[in-house]
Structure 1
Amino acid sequence: MNDKPFLAFNSAQELLDVLIRAGLITVLVISCYEIFRPFLNLVLWSIILAITLYPLNQRLAARLGNRSGLAAIILVLVGLLCLMVPLSLLGTSVVDSVQAGIQSAEAGNIEIPAPPASVEDWPLIGAALYKIWLHASQDLSWAFQQLLPHLKDWSKIALQQAAGVTAGIVIFVLALITAGVIMAHGAGGQRTAVAIASRVSTAKKGPQIATLCTATIRAVAQGVVGIAFIQMILIGIGLVIMGIPAAGVISLVVLLLGIMQLPVLLVTIPVVIYAFANLGVTASTIIFAIWIIIAGLSDNVLKPMLLGRGVAVPMPVVLIGALGGMVTSGIIGLFIGPVILAVGYELFMNWVYPAGQEQTELEPEIPAELLPGD
């Protein structure tokens, strides 16, 4: 009769021990996350870049006598060069433009050219745009009075965005260097990833999940960056042929918009308007406008072809994950979203169709009386 209170005491003691251990583990996990959080984006970008560039690193290492470290150093240096050269050209162009604007303002040479007569014939907006443009060219003070309230708000937004872009560039440079270190020890990292996935799921599913995550990240990187690069080349060719000023800067903006999954039409439509306003409505400008607009919309055709290639899940799952991740978590979500959604989809389908059981085996049998007659 004295055994029951003793058993109850032991059960309560064991439950209390489990709760205390769970609480301590929770506190430890939260503390580790708070300490690690400032470096979370850097580590995620490093892993994404390392996974994306690792096949290229392996091919280069094979040509260098299986020297993965040297191949990683070469890739990092080439990546930094490809990043710094356009940024330096862009920075030089911006500084020159600002200095020219300051000199024109000090000399009092700022003026707005009169609009071409063809602007008035544009459909829908032509008459109103011609009237406003003409008034601004005749009365510069009126134009400044109209723009000044808006320029204050836009300047604050521009400064905030510039600060964010600068921080992003610094993080990307550090991530590229860290990715080089990860690629130099790629074999060990691959074994660790498989071990973690096997521990989270099972020993059988672990390698499949690790392979799925790797393939998804590479597919998104190749699809997003590849499509943005193709758009930049197509639009850049048209800009150079037509002699549009700052063609290189505009092409770089197109590349950035494509990577951020923003519509390239934000750039191409103003360029088309500029071409018509300054070069007139000719056969060449019409062909240029068609070319630029088609190039800006080409991602709608290329994305289904490239985004889900090599991934063992349907392309819509990857596309929805990329867009949803972009909306919720920014550019980093562009890669994390498809991975999470692809893994979730794979686990769900494995639950729906157990191992060794085909989809046709789970289809319910339809009674004969419900089948249509001959």
Structure 2
Amino acid sequence: MHDEPDTALEQRLASRLLDVLIRAGLILAMVMLSLQVLSPFLTLMVWALILAISLYPLHQSIATRMGGRQGLASSVLVLLGILLIVAPTSVLMSSLGDSVHRLIEDVQNNTLQIPAPRDGVAEWPIVGKKLHAFWAQAHADLPALVQSLQPKIGDLAKSALGFVASIGGGLLQFLAAFILAGIIMAFGEAGERGSGAIFARVAGSSRGAEIARLSAATIRAVAQGVIGVAFIQAIIVGLCLLLAGVPWAAVLAVIVLVLAIAQLPALLVTLPAIVYIWTSGNYGNVEAITYTALLVVSGTVDNVLKPLMLGRGVDAPMPVILLGALGGMANAGILGMFVGATLLALGYQIFMGWVDADPDAGRSGQAGDIPSIR
């Protein structure tokens, strides 16, 4: 008598379970297909979202001065960004590409002239004699030296041209992301409500607003820690180059700015400047040592500034933000820096919220439960 109801119950449960599995499979398939469709634009969308979150306070400030016209404020901000960032960077990258191409042509046509090395180069410690001999050979018979190094020079030329091409592609991607960020900021109020609703649905109404605020604050802090540090370092390096009398100091400072934003060391610019100071013959030993020290310090000042600026305005310790940014950058480049810092900050807040919610903490903290020791 009990077998029939049990069998009917099992059949109903099996039917319900099958329905749930089919629905879950359909949802999973739809998510995977959607990700496949969006995958070519996923990096662009993430960049646009990061730029929109980072620039939204500035956008709101501009919109307030324009009577709350969100679209006009976005257009003005995008145009300013193109004029101040994209256009100068395009000119520099075009000049860099022309210089690399001209250098390769001079090497291939044997028209490149190398000045003779100074006698003092041979007295440099460790590498002085080898460098002087290599330099003297390049000055005396550059075609023979190029012929002996032909495979390496060919690979280096391909790498250099590929690097310039990748910078150009990245610049176009940044321009597209910047324009898309302007569109997102124009509808920022609706986007803020929508993102808040998503966070509230995922983490609950009380916790969702806090997580949304923390995510936006972390992205802005990382942007300030990268862009702000890049500008400060470029100014310091530019002043040191001007003080040392290095040619094209302003152009080199702009190159330092671009390298710092791309998370490349400023030593790529300051070290060649140091080599110029020691090999040009225009500086005494005391002057050369002084300017070398200044350029080395200015080239590494970002190591001090990043810990100071990277965690400002975020309810998470600075080491957490810094470790997340560095770990994310090691795994996924500059984009991973934002994602890594945000994820680690959110993980830290969730973990500390779980620690603070210990139900035994209140009872153990009562005075009557703590025995006195005398």
Q: What do residues 8-63 of structure 1 show as CA deviations (whole Å, max 9, x unaligned)?
A: 10011111111111111110100000001111111111111111111111111111
Query: By how many angstroms is 1:274 displaced?
Result: 1.7
| Alignment of 1:352 onto 2:355 | yes
| Alignment of 1:260 onto 2:262 | yes
Alpha-carbon separation, structure 2, partners of 1:360 and 1:235: 58
Residues 139, 280 of structure 1: alpha-carbon distance in 2 compared, 3 angstrom cutoff:
farther
Instruction: Name the counterpart of 2:221.
Output: 219
Instruction: Name the counterpart of 1:317.
Output: 320
Are the counterparts in 1 of residues 113 and 139 from structure 2 also a CA contact under 8 Å?
Answer: yes
Is the deviation greater in 274-283 or in 353-362? 353-362
Alpha-carbon separation, structure 2, partners of 1:134 and 1:193: 64
| Alignment of 1:200 onto 2:193 | no
Are the counterparts in 2 of residues 76 and 176 from structure 1 also a CA contact under 8 Å?
Answer: yes
**AA partner of residue 333 (structure 2):** G
Is the deviation greater in 290-299 or in 352-361? 352-361
| Alignment of 1:293 onto 2:296 | yes
Length-normalised TM-score, structure 2: 0.90
| Alignment of 1:138 onto 2:140 | yes
Query: By how many angstroms is 1:341 displaced?
Result: 0.9
Q: What do residues 89-142 of structure 1 show as CA deviations (whole Å, max 9, x unaligned)?
A: 324533663676588679864321111122122222222211221122112123
Residues 360, 212 of structure 1: alpha-carbon distance in 2 compared, 3 angstrom cutoff:
farther
Instruction: Name the counterpart of 2:124.
Output: 122
Q: Secondary structure at the match of 1:309?
A: coil
Q: Which of the residues 5, 8, 13 maps onto 1:6?
A: 8
| Alignment of 1:166 onto 2:168 | yes
Residues 356, 246 of structure 1: alpha-carbon distance in 2 compared, 3 angstrom cutoff:
farther
Residues 359, 65 of structure 1: alpha-carbon distance in 2 compared, 3 angstrom cutoff:
farther
Are the counterparts in 2 of residues 232 and 254 from structure 1 also a CA contact under 8 Å?
Answer: yes
Alpha-carbon separation, structure 1, partners of 2:350 and 2:216: 16
Query: By how many angstroms is 1:264 displaced?
Result: 2.1
Alpha-carbon separation, structure 2, partners of 1:265 and 1:105: 26
Are the counterparts in 2 of residues 197 and 206 from structure 1 also a CA contact under 8 Å?
Answer: yes
**AA partner of residue 131 (structure 1):** A
Q: Secondary structure at the match of 1:313?
A: coil
Structure 2 portions without partners, runs of 5+: none
Instruction: Name the counterpart of 1:228.
Output: 230
Alignment of 1:1-374 (within 5 A): 1=1, 2-91=4-93, 93-94=95-96, 97=99, 101=103, 109-278=111-280, 279-354=282-357
Are the counterparts in 2 of residues 317 and 342 from structure 1 also a CA contact under 8 Å?
Answer: yes
Alpha-carbon separation, structure 1, partners of 2:104 and 2:272: 25
Are the counterparts in 1 of residues 110 and 142 from structure 2 also a CA contact under 8 Å?
Answer: no
Are the counterparts in 2 of residues 235 and 295 from structure 1 also a CA contact under 8 Å?
Answer: yes
Alpha-carbon separation, structure 2, partners of 1:118 and 1:316: 45
Alpha-carbon separation, structure 2, partners of 1:299 and 1:48: 22
Alpha-carbon separation, structure 2, partners of 1:159 and 1:95: 7
Alpha-carbon separation, structure 2, partners of 1:357 and 1:298: 47
Query: By how many angstroms is 1:261 displaced?
Result: 2.4
Please tell me the root mean square deviation across aligned C-alpha atoms, in Å. 2.7
Q: Secondary structure at the match of 1:65?
A: coil
Residues 69, 293 of structure 1: alpha-carbon distance in 2 compared, 3 angstrom cutoff:
same
Alpha-carbon separation, structure 1, partners of 2:246 and 2:117: 18
Q: What do residues 66-104 of structure 1 show as CA deviations (whole Å, max 9, x unaligned)?
A: 222211111100101122332343245336636765886
Are the counterparts in 2 of residues 118 and 280 from structure 1 also a CA contact under 8 Å?
Answer: no
Are the counterparts in 2 of residues 353 and 359 from structure 1 also a CA contact under 8 Å?
Answer: no
Q: Secondary structure at the match of 1:204?
A: helix
Length-normalised TM-score, structure 1: 0.90
Alpha-carbon separation, structure 2, partners of 1:90 and 1:354: 54
Are the counterparts in 1 of residues 74 and 186 from structure 2 also a CA contact under 8 Å?
Answer: yes
Query: By how many angstroms is 1:317 displaced?
Result: 0.7
Query: By how many angstroms is 1:200 displaced?
Result: 0.8
**AA partner of residue 295 (structure 2):** I
Alpha-carbon separation, structure 2, partners of 1:3 and 1:138: 101
Q: What do residues 312-358 of structure 1 show as CA deviations (whole Å, max 9, x unaligned)?
A: 00111110110111111111101111111111111111112218987
Alpha-carbon separation, structure 2, partners of 1:79 and 1:7: 65
Are the counterparts in 2 of residues 275 and 285 from structure 1 also a CA contact under 8 Å?
Answer: yes
Are the counterparts in 1 of residues 146 and 153 from structure 2 also a CA contact under 8 Å?
Answer: no
Is the deviation greater in 139-148 or in 29-38? 139-148
